[in-house]
Each structure stands twice: as structure tokens, then as C-alpha cells.
Amino acid sequence: TYVVIENCIACKYTDCVEVCPVDCFYEGENMLVIHPDECIDCGVCEPECPADAIRPDTEPDMEKWVEFNRKYSELW
């Protein structure tokens, strides 16, 4: 899965949301999140982000971000 990290805070672009084929972006408190179970790992959103906030969970130390993204996406 891909997840959104803190670089997203205060970013006003929503290009990522528009390109996602499965609509798995959700609004968190002050940033967007990706539902980790709904993301199909296509990678289309990653280059759209001007803040470099969208990362694959295969990067080191991403467990807390996966849980953060899950928590806020499941509030909807």
C-alpha cells in the first residue's frame, strides 16, 4: 500500500485524489490519508504529489504511518 506522511500537512493540492482509480483518499484532521486496505498499489498518485508526501509502505519505519492512515480513513 501507499500511505500519506506528514509532508501533506498544509498542502493544498488534491491532484492525488483526482488520479486515484479506486478513490481511497480520505480527509484526516489536517492532511489527507490513504485507506491501506483499499489502495491497490498502482503508484499513480505518488508523482502527482508536490510535497513528496505519498510513500510506499516498503520504505523503512512506515508502520506508524500505515496505522495513522488506517485510523483516519476508517473514521468515514
Helix, strand, or coil here: 3?
strand
Interface with ligand SF4: number of residues (CB under 6 A): 13
The verdict on 62 binding ligand SF4 (CB under 6 A) reads no
Question: Which CB sits closer to ligand SF4, 44 or 75?
Answer: 44
| Bridge partners for 4 per DSSP | 54
Grid cell digits, residue 39: 489502495
The verdict on 4 binding ligand SF4 (CB under 6 A) reads no
Q: Which of 8, 45, 49, 62 touches ligand SF4 (CB under 6 A)?
A: 45
Strands (E), 5-44: 25-27, 32-34
Residue numbers at the binding site for ligand SF4 (CB under 6 A): 2, 19-20, 22, 24, 34, 39-45
